[in-house]
Structure 1
Amino acid sequence: MAEQNPFTNIFSHSNSPPSNDTVFFSIYPDFSLNSTSTPITSQLQSLHIQILQTLSPYTSNYIWQHQPFTLTPTPTPTNPTTPPHLSGHLRYGDNLEDEWFVVFLLFQTSKHFPNLSIQVNDTDGEFLLIETAFHLPKWVNPETSTNRVFIRAGSLHIIPNSLIPDTRTPSVQESLILLSRPCNSDKTVAPERVQRQLESRLREYPDRAHKNVHRVRVRVPVSVAKVLKHEPCLISIAVEGFYDRDIDTMKFASKMERFLGGGVGGRGEELVRVVVRMSRAMYAQLMQQTFNAPKCYPVMPSRSDVSGYMEAELGMKIACGFEMIYQLKKRQGIEGKGSSWDAFRRSLERSGYFEGLLPGSKEYKRLMQNAEEYYKNSSLHERESAILSAPVRRIDEILALPESANDFKDQELPPSDDDSWLYGGEDELNAALQERQKEMELYNSKRKQKAKEQDGPSNGSDNFDLKDISKSMQAFVTKVASYEGAEVPDESNVKDVDFDVDRFMKDMESFVRRRGPEDTGSDVDIEEESPSDMEFDESEDEDDIAEPAVDNDEEGTAFMHSYSDALNEELKGSTLSNTFVRANEQYVKKSEGTSNSTESMEEDFTPVDVDFNLVKNFLDSFSSQEGLPGPASNLLGLMGLQLPPDASKGK
C-alpha cells in the first residue's frame, strides 16, 4: 500500500466520542465471512483503495462541513459476531446535505461492488426507514429492525420474518450470511415503493451536492489567502472556530498573533481578493452573525462601498476564525488534553480515584497532577497530540512558503454565487412540506381503501352512515382487553370476552339479599368483607340455600323486576333521566291532573333508545372539538371511522 499523505488526517478525530449530529457506516465484504481466505488485512486495504478511487470523482471538489468521508479498515473487530469490515463516521453538523451525500456515496459503492453489504445509521437510528416510513411493512419498527437493514447491489434490503422471526434480533454475522446467498436476494430486497422513495431522494445527487457548495469573493490578509490557496478544505475549521467561539478563543482573535503578527494595523499586511468555496451552511453561519474587527486588523473599506465592505467583512470573520482555531489546536496539542484526556479523567472519577475530594483542594490537585503525569507518558497522549496538532503543522508549513501579495493580484476572479437562497427559502420549505403532506394523504387514502375492501364500515365524508357508530361500538365492547390495551373492532381473529352471565346474576342477587331492604348502613367496609372484587364466599349464603327452593327462571325474573323498580325509583328524584332520549321521544304520564293535588305525578319511564343516545353523544362530543383532536375523533379513528366536518359551524 502506498504511503499515506500525513495531511489527509487533518480532520481525523478517531479518538473523539461521536456527537449527536453524526452518521455511522460499515461496509462488509462477502470475503470477510470466510475466515479461511487469504490474509484479511491485505484484502481490506485493497478494497479500501478501490472504493476511495471509485468515489473520488464525486468527492474531490466537495467541501464537507466538519470532516471528509473516510474509511478505516477493521480486520479484527472487538465484537466476535462482527466480521472484518471497513467503517467510518462523519459529523455533518448543521449541514444535513453531508449526511445524504454519504448515503449517495454508499449506494454508488454498492453498485460498483455488488458483493458488499453496507449498514448506515445515525443517532436517530435507521434514518433510511424513517425516510420511507409510509411504505414499510407493518412489522418493521425500531425494535424489530436491528441488524436487518442493509444496502446491497444498489438497493435497500430488509431481512424479512420468513428468514428470521421478528421476535429475535439477528447478529450482524447471521444477517450477512443470509444476504450473501443468491437464493435470498429476492426475499430480502425492500418493497418497490420503498426503493422508489429512496431513489426520489437520491436522484438529485451528485448535482445537489455540488449545488450545495457556495462560491464567494472575500478580502483576506495574505497569510489567510495562502492557506486557502493550498488547502481550500481548511475553510471548514476556520468557520468552526468562528461559529463556536467563546470568551477564551476571542482573546486570540484580539491579538491575531499568527496571521497578522499581533501588530497594530496588521503590520501593514494587505487585504487581497480571493474566491472561497464553502458549503451553504458555512456561508449562513458567517453571514448571520455580527462580529467587530479587532483593533489590530487591517483597515477595511468604507461602508459606502457596499460590495467591497461586505467582501472585507466576510474575509475578516474567516481570518479571525483561522486565528482562533489555530491557537486553540496548538494549545490542545501541547497539552494533549483532547477527548482522550476527558475520557481518561472521567474513568478516574468513576473508579473513585479522587476519593470524594473537593475539586481545588490540595489533595485533589496532587492526585490530578499524578494523573496528568501518567497520561503524558502514555501512548494516548502522543496520539492525541498528533491529531490535534495536524492542522497547526499544516498551516505553519503553508505560511513558510515564499509568497507575497503580488501573487494574488491581477487575477480574474469569478463573481460570487447568488445568495438569494439565504433569504428566500420559504418556497423550498413549503414545497417540501407539501410533498410530505401529499405523501401522508396518499398513505391515509390507501388505508381507507383497504378498510373498505375488508368490508369495514363506510367512512366517506360524502356518504356517511351514522349507524356505523353504533355498530362499531357494539363490536368494540365485545372485544378483549389486556395490559397492552383494548382491541379495536377492525382487528381480526379475536375471541369474545369470557363472561358468565348466570354466575354474575347469581352473585348480584346474593349480594342484594345480604344487604336487604332494611339495611341502611353505608357502603364502607365492603372491600373488607371480600378480599377481591370478583371473589365471593359461598358459605355466607347457607341461610339462603336453606329457604324453600323456587324455579331458577322465576327467581331471576323476580329479581330483575325488583332491580329495575329500584333503579327507576332512584332516577325519579334526579335529573339524570332528562339527559336521555326515549323511544317515543316524550314522557308518558300516568296521571294528567292539573290541580294542586297532594298526589304527586309519577312518570312512566319508557325504554331508552340506546343506539340513538350513543350516536347523539358521540356527535355532540365531536362537534365540541371544533375540528381539533379529541376523545371522540380518537376513539372513532381506532374503529376505522372518520366523521365529516361540521358544516353548520361558522354559519
Structure 2
Amino acid sequence: MDTPQDDLKWFGEGFDGFPKKLPDDVVEYIVFIIDAKLSDVQIRERLQAFQRALNALEKNFLKEYIWQRDALKLDLVRQGQQWLLQGRTNYGDSVADEWLIVYFLRALSKEFKDAWIRIYDSDGEFLLIEAANALPRWLTPEIAENRVWINNQRLLVIPLGKEEEPASLAQQQALDIIHSTPSRPQQYMKVEREAFHRLSGYPAAISDNQHHATLPLPRKVAHILHANPSYIAPVVEAFYLRDPISIRLLQPEKSKTPLSFPPEDFVDVSVRFTKVLYAQLSGQHWEPPPPWDAALDNLFKAGKPTEKAQIGLKITTGMQMLLSHSLYTSRKPSREIGLLLQDLENGDDTLPTDAEIASWPKREDDDGWLNIDFAEFEKELEGKGSGAKDAFGDKNAQENLKRMVSRFNDFLGDMEAGAEGADGGMDPMDEDNDSDVGDRGWEDPEDSESTDSEDVKGKGKAKTTATETEDSDDEAADAEYAEYEKAYEEFMKLSEAEKAVLTEEARALAIEQDAEKEEDEEIQKLTEMMEAELFSHGALNVDPKTAHKPGTGLLSNTKGKGEARVEDEEGEDEEDEDENLLDEDYNLAENMLKAFKGQAGTAGPAGNMMRAMGVQFPQDADDEFKRGGSSSKSRRKG
C-alpha cells in the first residue's frame, strides 16, 4: 500500500526540517516588490513606502476599530537575498479581522502596482476556498500553494506549464516565474469575483462591525476602559475562556488575595465592542460566585436592566481574571492595566468624578441583530427570502447564507460531478440491489430457481409496504422536528433570567429521571437475583425428570391431570412426548417445597414468597429426625 506523500526528506535524504504549519485562527501575509529595473536599495524604499501607506489607511479607517486579538502589522525583513514585508495576525473568533486585512492589502496593491502579495491561513489558500465553486478542475488544494497572488487589485493564479507535473510551487519558484514571465499568472474573472465577494461591503463594513452599549461598571473599570477602549477584547477573552483557576481568583476567601476590581461604586458608561465580542458576553449563561452574586442582586434592586447588569458584571470579572491569572500576566494589555492601577495607588492619577463621567459620550445601539427570525431563516435556506433589511440576524450573515444556498444548489445541479458529486452518479457497489435480479446485471446462483412471477409480485408488494413505512416515518420525523423548532424559537425569545430558570428546571428534571432510572435498575437487579436463586433450587423448573404419576399427590383433583394424556397411534415419537406431559400443580408444589428445604431453616426466597401470601411452611420431618431421636420420641409420647 502506498503511503501519503508529504514531501518530507528524512535523515540521509537531505533532511531540511519538518513541514511548517500555521496555528489555528492565524493569517499570514507577505509583500514582495518585483521590478527588474529597481535595485536592492530601491526595493527596500518601496517596501517602506508601502508600510507608510498602510499606516495612513489605518488612521483613516481604524480609529475606533477593536481587533479580536492581534492587529495588522507588516515588518520589513531580509530573507535570503531580497527584502520583503511580512506579518502574522491571530484573528481568534473574528473572521471579519481576516477579511479586513485582505481588504487593506488589496487596496494598497492598486497604489503599488509592482507589489505582489500572498495571503494564507491555517487552511491554506483560503481565497481559493472561498471561490471553490468557480475553480478550474486542475486547480486542486494539493497544487495551489504559492500559486495565488494579489497584484494591482487582481487575483492572479500561476497555471501549470505544458510539461510541468501537477504539484505545488516553492515560494522561490513562484517568484522566479513572476520575474521571468510576468504575463504567465492568469486572471480568472469568475474565481476573482467569488474570492473577493466579502469585500463588497468595505469600508462601510468596518463601522458596521462595531456595537455600543451603556452598562453599569465599577468606577475603576470604567476609568481603564475609557483610557483605552481596545482593552475590552482581552477582557472578554479572559472571561470567555475562564477556567477553575480564574473562578477561584474571583473569590477572596479562597484565593486569600484582595480583589483589584471589587464589585462596588457602579457608574453607567458607554462601552464599545465588536459584534463578536458582544455576542460572546451576552450569549454565555454564568452563575457568579460570592461576592459577585450579591453585587448582581444589588444592581437588580437598583433598577438596572437584567441583561445590562449581567454583561457589566461579566466585564468586571473578566478584567479581574486578566490581571490576576498567571496565564495573562506576560501580555501587553495586562502589563498596561497594571501600570494604570499603580498610578492610581501612587496618586499620579485619580478616578473620574460623576461630573466627568456624565460628560463622556454615551451611545446605545440596537442589539436586534442578535435575534433570528427562524421562519425567515427557513425561507432563506430554500432560496425564497423576502430580502427585508431586518429579516433576520446580521446583514452580512444574511448575504453569506444566500451565497451558501446558491452554491449548494449549483453543486446539486452539477451533473458532471462524477462519483463525488451529489447528482453526478453513484458507484454500482453502493446500491443495494441484491434482491433485484433483473436490475443488477448479474445472476446469483442461489436465486436461479426462484424467478417466477409470484416471487416478483411478492417483492413488489414488499417494496410498496416498505416505501409506505418510510414515508410514514419521514412525516413523523418532520412533525417532531417542527415541534422542536417551535419550542427552540420560543426559548430564544426569553430573557436571560427566564432562560436560567428553565435551565435549572430542566437540570432538576434530568436528575430526578436519573434517580428513577437507577431505582428501576436496582429493582431489576434484585429480581434477577431472586430468579437465579429460585432456578438454583428448582422452583422455576417446568420440565423436571420425575417419576411422579400425574393426577396424584397434594394438589390432585377428582379427575386428575393424568386424564389429559392423549394417545397417538400414528407414531412412537408422539407417544414418547405424551409420556412427558406435566402435572403443573404437582411440579409447582414439589419445586417450592424443595426450594424451602434448600434454605436449611434460614431465610430465603421461597419462604419469603409464601409468607407474603400468608402460607406458613412446617419444618421438614426428615430434618427433625436427623436432628435427634429425643424430639421424635417426645412427639410420639404426646
Q: Give TM-score scaled by structure 1 length.
A: 0.53
Change (3 A) 1:190 1:392: farther
**TM-superposition CA deviations, 1:55-84 (whole Å, max 9, x none):** 432222211111222222222x3xx4x843
CA distance in 2, matches of 1:395, 1:110: 43
Give the residue type in structure 2 aligned to 1:405: T
The equivalent residue for 1:363 is: none
The equivalent residue for 2:99 is: 100
CA distance in 2, matches of 1:625, 1:209: 54
> Which of the numbers 269, 281, 294 marks the counterpart of 2:276?
281
CA distance in 2, matches of 1:85, 1:256: 54
**TM-superposition CA deviations, 1:394-426 (whole Å, max 9, x none):** 664588523333354433754421112223175
The equivalent residue for 1:545 is: none
**What are the residue-to-residue correspondences of 1:315-326 with 2, within 5 Å?**
315-326=312-323
Change (3 A) 1:446 1:396: same
Question: Is the 8 Å Cα contact of residues 104 and 205 (structure 1) preserved in structure 2?
Answer: yes
**TM-superposition CA deviations, 1:545-599 (whole Å, max 9, x none):** xxxxxxxxxxxxxxxxxxxxxxxxxx99964154499xxx9xxxxxxxxxxxxxx
> Which of the numbers 295, 304, 309 marks the counterpart of 2:291?
295
The Cα of 1:234 is off from its aligned counterpart by 0.8
Q: Give TM-score scaled by structure 2 length.
A: 0.54
**What are the residue-to-residue correspondences of 1:494-643 with 2, within 5 Å?**
575-579=447-451
RCO higher in structure (CA 8 A, sep ≥6): 1
CA distance in 2, matches of 1:88, 1:118: 11
Question: Is the 8 Å Cα contact of residues 111 and 153 (structure 1) preserved in structure 2?
Answer: yes
> Which of the numbers 61, 66, 69 marks the counterpart of 1:63?
66
Q: Secondary structure at the match of 2:27?
A: strand
* 1:239 aligned onto 2:232: no
The Cα of 1:92 is off from its aligned counterpart by 1.9
**TM-superposition CA deviations, 1:450-476 (whole Å, max 9, x none):** 99xxxxxxx999xxxxxxx9xx99xx9
CA distance in 1, matches of 2:446, 2:262: 92
Unaligned segments of structure 2, at least 5 residues: 1-20, 382-397, 429-442, 455-459, 472-638
**TM-superposition CA deviations, 1:78-107 (whole Å, max 9, x none):** xx4x84321222222222222222222221
The equivalent residue for 1:423 is: 371
Give the residue type in structure 2 aligned to 1:197: E
> Which of the numbers 409, 419, 422 marks the counterpart of 1:441?
409
Change (3 A) 1:264 1:327: closer
* 1:270 aligned onto 2:290: no
**TM-superposition CA deviations, 1:501-547 (whole Å, max 9, x none):** xxxxxxxxxxxxxxxxxxxxxxxxxxxxxxxxxxxxxxxxxxxxxxx
The equivalent residue for 1:172 is: 171
**What are the residue-to-residue correspondences of 1:219-238 with 2, within 5 Å?**
219-238=216-235
Change (3 A) 1:209 1:390: same
The Cα of 1:323 is off from its aligned counterpart by 1.4
CA distance in 2, matches of 1:574, 1:230: 84
The Cα of 1:277 is off from its aligned counterpart by 0.8
CA distance in 2, matches of 1:203, 1:18: 28
Unaligned segments of structure 1, at least 5 residues: 1-16, 334-384, 452-458, 462-468, 477-570, 586-615, 628-651
The structure with more radius of gyration: 2
CA distance in 1, matches of 2:38, 2:338: 42
Q: Secondary structure at the match of 1:64?
A: coil
228-237 or 422-431, larger mean C-alpha shift: 422-431
CA distance in 2, matches of 1:168, 1:117: 21
Change (3 A) 1:188 1:391: farther
The Cα of 1:301 is off from its aligned counterpart by 4.4
> Which of the numbers 340, 349, 354 marks the counterpart of 1:401?
349
**TM-superposition CA deviations, 1:290-329 (whole Å, max 9, x none):** 1416427857645366644433332221111111111235
**TM-superposition CA deviations, 1:304-361 (whole Å, max 9, x none):** 666444333322211111111112359844xxxxxxxxxxxxxxxxxxxxxxxxxxxx
Give the residue type in structure 1 aligned to 2:288: N
* 1:24 aligned onto 2:28: yes
Q: Secondary structure at the match of 2:325?
A: helix
The Cα of 1:116 is off from its aligned counterpart by 1.1
CA distance in 2, matches of 1:135, 1:146: 18
The equivalent residue for 1:140 is: 139
**TM-superposition CA deviations, 1:243-274 (whole Å, max 9, x none):** 111122223323499xx9649976xx521111
Question: Is the 8 Å Cα contact of residues 344 and 350 (structure 2) preserved in structure 1?
Answer: no
The Cα of 1:141 is off from its aligned counterpart by 0.8
CA distance in 2, matches of 1:626, 1:87: 58
CA distance in 2, matches of 1:85, 1:425: 48
The Cα of 1:169 is off from its aligned counterpart by 3.4
The Cα of 1:179 is off from its aligned counterpart by 3.2
The equivalent residue for 2:358 is: 410
Q: Secondary structure at the match of 1:38?
A: helix
**TM-superposition CA deviations, 1:36-70 (whole Å, max 9, x none):** 52276665444322322234322222111112222
The equivalent residue for 2:191 is: 194
**TM-superposition CA deviations, 1:366-421 (whole Å, max 9, x none):** xxxxxxxxxxxxxxxxxxx8897455446645885233333544337544211122
Give the residue type in structure 2 aligned to 1:318: I
The equivalent residue for 1:50 is: 53
Q: Secondary structure at the match of 1:239?
A: helix
Give the residue type in structure 2 aligned to 1:172: Q
Give the residue type in structure 2 aligned to 1:295: P
**TM-superposition CA deviations, 1:269-293 (whole Å, max 9, x none):** 5211111111112112211221416
The Cα of 1:133 is off from its aligned counterpart by 0.7
The equivalent residue for 2:482 is: none
CA distance in 2, matches of 1:434, 1:43: 41
Give the residue type in structure 2 aligned to 1:437: V
Work out the number of aligned pairs and report it.
Answer: 403
Q: How big is the alpha-carbon RMSD for the aligned residues of Structure 1 and Structure 2?
A: 4.6
CA distance in 1, matches of 2:207, 2:260: 40
CA distance in 1, matches of 2:245, 2:423: 64
CA distance in 1, matches of 2:335, 2:215: 27
The equivalent residue for 1:254 is: 251
CA distance in 1, matches of 2:405, 2:238: 39
